Amino acid sequence: MSRPLLEVRGLAKHFAVKGGAFGRTVGEVRAVDGVDFRVEDGETLAIVGESGCGKSTVGRLVLRLLEPTAGAVRFEGDDLLALDADGLRARRRRMQFIFQDPYASLNPRMTVGAMLAEPLWLHRLVGDDTARRARVAELLELVGLRPDHARRYPHEFSGGQRQRIAIARALAVEPRLIVADEPVSALDVSIQAQVINLMRELQRRFGLAYIFISHDLAVVKHIADRIAVMYLGKIVETAPTEELFANPRHPYTRALLSAVPLPDPTAVRARALLDGDIPSAMNPPTGCAFHTRCPYAREACRHDAPTLADDGMAHATACPYWPEFPAPPALAAGDRPDEDRVRLDRLQAAFVSRTEAS
């Protein structure tokens, strides 16, 4: 097997919790608790789960925006956790981050042109001012904006346009891997379609690899090659996208998929409802972390912590009892990834036509 672009082993992040009059440590939050995955060149891995499951923390740990408590992160064969500040800065050119809120991540006091030129100057990618301005214009055109937009400030753009600017800034240093943390969750549905299609086109053009972090499986299936499902700091299932939607194994994955809205408002699909709330990451359950909400839990689940076991066909599940569960409900007509991609493309085309007509 060839070496992956990114390989993560045993990644963990525990945050100390302070309390009392003297600020003593009273516990720790296990935000990420032993995560393994790999990303191949040109691939999109989506990490999904409910709020608080640790998926955004994983993205920040991969780029060392947060320092891991334990684990190993290898990018292009190099151990990122062993790099000093200078070595990490050089590697950062090859790994970029797109934040959820583009307005908060863009400096309101800088023009768009200055923001796009800054990484070019820091990494010495262009020579003089003329070459820098030409590269800024090229980046803006790559994301569907005009070169004259370089003179404007972030507040002069819509949310979708600001996210395009954030994507252009990530592309400026010619990365191989982009971590996108909920990049479309703050956008209108029709704008989401445009941004997702833009990311797919840029991926095809430049051979980019993505880690796409989201809570929305309906969005994820339009862009991801593989999906990793997280629950309480751990990955409980990972599989190719179409396989995961067609044959979800873990009870938590089934619950998430059953909550995805159907495109036909008259269609009915069985819901897999979960009891109770997500346990506290300060005091996670023993054994399987999901057993307190699992409809199929048995006594062994209270004591035995499951491992993520691969079936040899790229589908791994952190539950040894999944073969005994009832078959998941079949997807309704029109609720399959290929058909939904066509629907997404049509939605974008219709939106663009209406915009041009007005």
* pLDDT digits 0-9 by tens, 64-118: 999 999 999 999 999 999 999 888 888 888 999 999 888 888 999 999 999 999 9
Residues 42-72: tens digit of each pLDDT? 999 999 999 889 999 999 999 999 999 999 9
Phi/psi of residue 179, nearest 5 degrees: -95, 115
Domains and CATH numbers, the chain: 41-63+80-324 (3.40.50.300)
The helix (H) or strand (E) run that includes residue 28 is strand 24-39
Does the structure show a pLDDT above 60 at 334?
no
CA dihedral (197, 100, 40, 245) positive or negative: negative
What are the distances in angstroms from CA 88 to CA 78, 82, 163, 189, 227? 10, 9, 26, 37, 28
Per-residue pLDDT at 329: 62
Is residue 316's pLDDT more than 50?
yes
Given this model, what pLDDT does residue 358 score?
A: 40
Taking 80 as the threshold, does the pLDDT of residue 16 lie above it?
yes
pLDDT in tens, 208-232: 999 999 998 988 988 999 999 999 9
Most confident of 18-22, 106-110, 338-342: 106-110
The C-alpha atoms of residue 200 and residue 344 are separated, in whole angstroms, by 12
